[in-house]
Structure 1
Amino acid sequence: MKNETTPSVPLIDISELIRKGSGQSEVARQIGSACREYGFFYIAGHGISTALQEQLEALSHDFFNRPESEKMRIRMELGGRAWRGYFPLGDELTSGKPDLKEGIYFGEELPEEDERVQAKIPLHGANLFPEAPDSMRQVVLEYIRRLTELGHHLMRGIALSLDLDEHYFSDRYTADPLVLFRIFHYPSREAHAGLDAPWGVGEHTDYGVLTILKQDHIGGLQVKTQDQWIEAPYIPNTFVCNIGDMLDRMTGGRYRSTPHRVLNRTSSGRFSFPFFFDPNFSVRVEPIDLEHLGPLPEKHQDRWDGADVHAFEGSYGDYILHKVSKVFPQLKRAVD
């Protein structure tokens, strides 16, 4: 039973932000409070249709219920520098340990003639879609399009929450964002019974500025706040948002990139749909002058991995390639 003093991730209705209504400043205030206190918040009033979400879930169940041999026809090794496609259970690492999940990586669909593809910029290119279910391509690309729009709205809200011009991030970092989308399937508790590391995903932070996560009804997400882990359960027709390392760096730690993890304790498979709305691959990520907000917060506890995002210098591409090459070390040669 939950203790009354246990903190919980706040839920914010962002409908006024979406329509640029008179209440968007209050939405921005709530976003700022959540980013300082938790680094996480739920959103309602986001405008993403339930029909699209239900289609995405149904197609995902269809695909992951298929034989491994069929899923491997779009394996990540075939995606090359674009880093797209399917990976089987245990192939993705967190802090050097295999995650108990399988999944598909997607991104912005780019044709061969796109200048970024021609320039061989990593993480840019065409997606790998399965032959069946045959409608997955259409639904995934529509979902990416709609979540990209939502990402722009939320970054306006984050800018306003910092008393910046609403276009601050789009002018400098996200006019042409790096958008990455994943579908993850976590097996039932029976599938990891007796294993030493039963985490679907171990403790980690996200890399960029903003993650927009669709959970299914199973739940299992846990967020580290202060010195305790709290549940971030499924709430119908909401998304869970969290900020990443680059926004932590930009804000000098005012907005925290919070560690989180996943454990499926049920006898059913769990699905999650994280969408990453990140800075342009080539842009250099710099701290923002936020002296108008007062002194920097006290330093939070050291990260589990010993990293310091505030010591990083370079482009977002430098940062994400370093991180992703640890997640899939066998694919690193594709971008070397």
Structure 2
Amino acid sequence: MNPVATKAFMQETSNDLIQPSTLARGLSDNYSGLRPEVVKSKLLRGATSGLSEFIWPKDQWPSVPHDDFHLAQELPCVDLSDFRTGDAEQRQKTAEVLAKTFSEWGFVLVTNHGVSAEIIKRMQNQALKFFEMPLEQKEKGVVPSSSKYEGFGYGVESGFYYAGKPWIDRFQCRWSPACEIREPMEKVFCPSDAEEFINTIEVYNSRLDKLARKILELCAIGLGIAEDTFTKPFGGTAGDCIARMNYYPPCPLSSLTLGLGAHTDPNLLTILSQCEVGGLQVLRNDTWISVQPKPDMLIVNIGDTFEAWTNGRFRSVEHRAVVNESAARLSMVYFASPPMKAAIEIPGQLITANDPLKFRPSFTWEEYKGHLLQRHAAGNGVKMSKQWLLKPASSSASEDGNRQRF
């Protein structure tokens, strides 16, 4: 869109479209209308219609630009090289620093994490190759609702309901207990390109599997409990994990919309890498902080399940994605969760007189996941989801009956 057209549209938007009745309509991100890539293709031809659906309530407009990094140095960084060398004393120190960071921030930058820059770059290149394909080609990776892979593929719904449509294009696949990337990619790419993509994501996520396990072990050490406390329920498997690629096209409404609304992650751990374009923002003391991209670092954050598992010692913190008018942003996300039916029991050492029980003493990821699906299907917001994890654990017979359906 040329500057004159943009200015005219912004004036039209401010005069006619930003009305309380419009902004409070609680649209979900199920893309029943246009996805960002479709809107983007229209923008390139000078059209402005359809953009009003992406305008969010005024109180959620981004107050901090995507590239305002003046507070970024406050996001802690932990060097994992000492853990990898096997030095017991340094390993203990690293574990304590990591646990302290997750307790205070819920987010951390990690370096010397064991995933080479070459592997990360290769994954980024493959992701860009996918998103830059023609829309009709990418849509071959859409998974029909009748498929056993429902909830995965191209243009997938997140299941979260926000106050407006997020400006995001994405692809998601189940990584474990079985990788389900092959079927959709073989429909999108030619055979040789499909194999290259599949091989790349398998190598990349295999490294993240190992990193997630190391972080879980470090967290236990840092909390002063048995090293295998958070890995033992996995039973030697990778658990229930998801790989997602997010693409945020340039957006002419960057000051009025979001790439992804404020939320906490429901899972155990999230590991993210992003391109050189900023966009991730973390809520710290009621202030949004833009996380400056660093090529050699990965971002790790705590999910609701891990906050509950540690009886609140670690924090699952709100974060969001903002967009900009000039540059596309890419992020790759690995969501680690325990096996569906594995018992998640709060360690007794983390329940004391000073830290009494705050969460359900025992639950499964399957139960919590079922609750999430139920609430979001009913149109409830993302910020209230983890209330289910809080004490008391007792619930009505009807709620228990509903959970058993998932």
The answer to whether TM tops 0.5 is yes
Question: Which runs of structure 2 are paired with 1:237-256 in the superposition (5 Å)?
Answer: 237-256=296-315
Q: Which has the higher helix share?
A: 2
Residues 261 and 153 of structure 1: CA distance in aligned 2, closer, same or farther (over 3 Å): same
Which of 285-294 and 157-166 deviates more?
285-294
Question: Which runs of structure 2 are paired with 1:219-234 in the superposition (5 Å)?
Answer: 219-234=278-293
Counterpart position of 1:271? 330
Counterpart position of 1:305? none
Report the Cα distance in structure 1 between the residues aligned to 2:362 and 2:200, rounded to whole angstroms.
Answer: 37
Residues 173 and 288 of structure 1: CA distance in aligned 2, closer, same or farther (over 3 Å): farther
Counterpart position of 2:153? 85
Supply the AA of the counterpart residue of 1:235. K
Counterpart position of 2:81? 15
SS of the aligned residue for 1:105 comes to strand
Counterpart position of 2:240? 178
1:131 aligns with 2:161: no
1:202 aligns with 2:261: yes
Report the Cα distance in structure 2 between the residues aligned to 1:247 and 1:209, rounded to whole angstroms.
Answer: 5
Counterpart position of 1:310? 359
Residues 272 and 231 of structure 1: CA distance in aligned 2, closer, same or farther (over 3 Å): same
Supply the AA of the counterpart residue of 2:175. E
Question: Which runs of structure 2 are paired with 1:1-336 in the superposition (5 Å)?
Answer: 8-22=74-88, 23-77=90-144, 80-81=148-149, 83-87=151-155, 91-92=157-158, 94-96=160-162, 97-108=164-175, 127=182, 128-129=184-185, 130-132=188-190, 133-134=193-194, 135-173=196-234, 175-176=236-237, 177-190=239-252, 192=253, 196=256, 198-291=257-350, 295-296=354-355, 310=359, 314-323=363-372
SS of the aligned residue for 1:219 comes to coil
- TM-score for both structures, normalised by structure 2: 0.67
Which of 310-319 and 153-162 deviates more?
310-319
Q: Is the 8 A contact 2:155 2:170 kept in 1?
A: yes
Residues 184 and 150 of structure 1: CA distance in aligned 2, closer, same or farther (over 3 Å): same
Offset of residue 156 of structure 1: 0.7
Supply the AA of the counterpart residue of 2:155. F
Counterpart position of 1:119? none
Q: Deviations over 1:140-165 (max 9, x none)?
A: 11111111011111111111111111
Offset of residue 18 of structure 1: 2.3
Supply the AA of the counterpart residue of 1:18. R
Report the Cα distance in structure 1 between the residues aligned to 2:82 and 2:268, rounded to whole angstroms.
Answer: 22
Report the Cα distance in structure 2 between the residues aligned to 1:110 and 1:232, rounded to whole angstroms.
Answer: 31
Supply the AA of the counterpart residue of 1:271. L
Offset of residue 186 of structure 1: 0.8
Residues 138 and 313 of structure 1: CA distance in aligned 2, closer, same or farther (over 3 Å): same
Q: Is the 8 A contact 2:80 2:110 kept in 1?
A: yes
Report the Cα distance in structure 1 between the residues aligned to 2:129 and 2:247, rounded to whole angstroms.
Answer: 12
- TM-score for both structures, normalised by structure 1: 0.80
Which of 135-144 and 318-327 deviates more?
318-327
Q: Deviations over 1:307-333 (max 9, x none)?
A: xx9359642022224435666899xxx
Report the Cα distance in structure 2 between the residues aligned to 1:148 and 1:51, rounded to whole angstroms.
Answer: 17
Residues 125 and 263 of structure 1: CA distance in aligned 2, closer, same or farther (over 3 Å): same
Q: Which has the larger radius of gyration?
A: 2
Supply the AA of the counterpart residue of 1:95. Y
Offset of residue 220 of structure 1: 1.0
Offset of residue 19 of structure 1: 3.1
Supply the AA of the counterpart residue of 1:49. S
Report the Cα distance in structure 2 between the residues aligned to 1:254 and 1:147, rounded to whole angstroms.
Answer: 24
Unmatched runs of 5 consecutive residues or more in structure 2: 1-67, 380-404
Q: Is the 8 A contact 2:79 2:111 kept in 1?
A: yes
Which of 102-111 and 234-243 deviates more?
102-111
Structure 1: 4+ residue segments shifted above 6 A: 1-4, 325-330
Report the Cα distance in structure 2 between the residues aligned to 1:109 and 1:173, rounded to whole angstroms.
Answer: 11
Q: Is the 8 A contact 2:103 2:315 kept in 1?
A: yes
Offset of residue 227 of structure 1: 2.0
SS of the aligned residue for 1:310 comes to coil
Q: Is the 8 A contact 1:208 1:276 kept in 2?
A: yes
